[in-house]
Amino acid sequence: MAGYETFLDELQSALNHLNDPAFQPAPSLCQRLGISAGLPDWAEPLRQAIHCLQPPPTAPAQSRSHRLYQLLLQRYIHNETQDRTAEQLHITPRHLRREQNDAVQALARLLWEQPSPSTVAPSPAETPQSEWSAQLRQELTALQKGAPSGTADVGETIQRVVELLAPVQQKAGVVLRVGLLPPGLAVAVQSTGLRQLLVRILTEWSRHLSVGEIDISAEREGEQVRIHLTGSPAAMEQMPDDPLLQELLSQFGGSVQVEQKETTTHLTLSLAAAPPIRVLVVDDNEDLLHFYRRYVANTRYQILSLTDGDLLFETLEEVRPDAVVLDVMLPTADGWELLTHLRQHPLGRTLPILVCSVIQEEELARALGASGYIRKPVGRSRLLRALDAALGVTP
């Protein structure tokens, strides 16, 4: 087994190539991940290790552990640049580089200190079916527990899967084309789970389609999200009986329907839509509330408004919002006192609270417990970035 410094370098190299299907990590890192060297799906255990660093829901959104987890998530799983990640975390690129080193160190310690498997886990082909299925269910259950309320942006995940599979599909003569993907469309499945589902479906389909095209689109129908895949020429009448796909669908409550026509095969993947994120805005400016609603159109955010600060705690009990945006200059109540009392209230202790005001008192707002601060006038991008950061939502 390599020393810790060598292991750290190997881990950094693997993180830099996490979305590169042709990369193969060092055998010693594979051993730490509990997989056989040379397997094509080496990246999934590393992604799961990153998700193990996600703080519990009770952890403050502004905590350092939350920031380090979001940094790993954005930089490596979502393949964002340092500048873009720094912008999302509201820190400077220089600060991010220091934090990135600490985040990788935290991940390295997690992998280094866990018991190293004495034998490398066998591949499914080398394991009895029942044993392999049990191991798969265990890993999927661990994934669910790691992010029990996780959601995935459908459009972003589809785009990343298409980019990931492009080299393999091109060699097979298959072209993946992305069609209509409504913004803000999300499913109640972690991004890792949705990515695995799509990769498996497209990989299985391509085995039956030696050359051709697959068009991908998505829409919301009631409480379901339908991801439509249309391939030509027609290649299969039904989805192959693939154990991995069936386990994934069972774990995430999804279903697949296949319909073959004369020249095309149409496949629909159905998953539960992610619920909206309800944001209670406490502000007496009706015009601004109107703009807020326009700003969050075609996103997961839903604006609930309150113009009378005296009714805040009554409303909090009634609507149970996911976040609060609070103006501290209210005609009926003192916003600073409301913020203080919110943090003392059972429903407000861990609630993401953003202070939004013309008064430039960010330091005071954070000292009183605010998760973030937005200075008026508020633009759409600034509001959405602040909400994303406070709630840990991937934009």
pLDDT tens-digit map of 248-282: 888 788 888 888 888 888 999 999 888 888 999 99
- What DSSP string runs through 191-250? HHHHHHHHHHHHHHHHHH-SSEEEEEEEEEETTEEEEEEEEES---SS----HHHHHHHH
Decide yes or no: CATH 3.40.50.2300 for domain 277-391. yes
Half-sphere exposure in the Cβ direction for 219 (13 Å, CA): 7
What's the pLDDT score for residue 15? 94
Burial 310-346 (b: 16+ CB within 10 A, else e): eebeebbeeeebbbbbbbbebeebebbebbeebeeee
Task: Look up residue 347 and give its two tokens.
Answer: 């429903």
Give phi and psi for 177, each to the nearest 5.
-125, 135
Give phi and psi for 124, each to the nearest 5.
-55, -35
- The dihedral sign for the CA sequence 74, 80, 86, 90: negative
Q: How many helices (H) and strands (E) are present in the chain, helices listed first? A: 15, 12
- The dihedral sign for the CA sequence 36, 41, 43, 44: negative
Query: What residues have CB less than 8 Å from 50, skipping those under 6 apart?
Result: 69, 72, 73, 76, 77, 107
**Where does the chain hold its CATH 3.30.565.10 domain(s)?**
152-272
Cα-based distances in Å from 58 to 61, 148, 212, 315, 351: 9, 13, 49, 22, 9
Q: What is the pTM of this model?
A: 0.52
Rounded-to-integer distance, Cα 388 and Cα 352, Å:
11
Residues in a beta bridge with 353: 324
Decide yes or no: CATH 3.30.565.10 for domain 152-272. yes
Q: What's the gap between Cα 279 and its chain centre? A: 19
Rounded-to-integer distance, Cα 78 and Cα 157, Å:
9
Virtual CA dihedral for 321, 327, 332, 334, nearest 10 degrees?
A: 100
Residue among 263, 147, 126 at smallest CA distance from 194: 147
pLDDT tens-digit map of 275-330: 888 999 999 999 889 999 999 887 788 899 999 999 999 999 999 999 999 998 89
What's the pLDDT score for residue 20? 77
Contact 118, 60 (CB under 8 A): no
Amino acid at 106: A
**Where does the chain hold its CATH 3.40.50.2300 domain(s)?**
277-391
What is the layout of strands, in order, in the sheet containing 255-260? Answer: 174-178, 212-221, 224-232, 265-272, 255-260
Query: What residues have CB less than 8 Å from 21, skipping those under 6 apart?
Result: 40, 164, 165, 167, 168
pLDDT tens digits for the chain (395 residues)? 457 788 888 999 999 988 776 788 888 888 888 777 766 667 888 888 888 888 776 666 677 788 888 899 889 988 888 888 888 888 888 888 889 998 999 898 888 876 554 434 444 444 444 555 566 666 666 555 554 446 788 998 999 999 888 887 777 788 899 999 988 788 888 788 888 889 888 887 877 776 788 999 999 988 899 999 998 886 666 666 677 788 788 878 888 888 888 888 899 999 988 888 899 999 999 988 999 999 988 778 889 999 999 999 999 999 999 999 999 889 888 999 999 999 999 888 889 999 998 888 899 999 999 999 998 888 988 998 899 888 876 55
Task: Look up residue 128 and give its two tokens.
Answer: 């009895």
* Other CB atoms within 10 Å distance of the CB of residue 118: 6
Contact 240, 271 (CB under 8 A): no
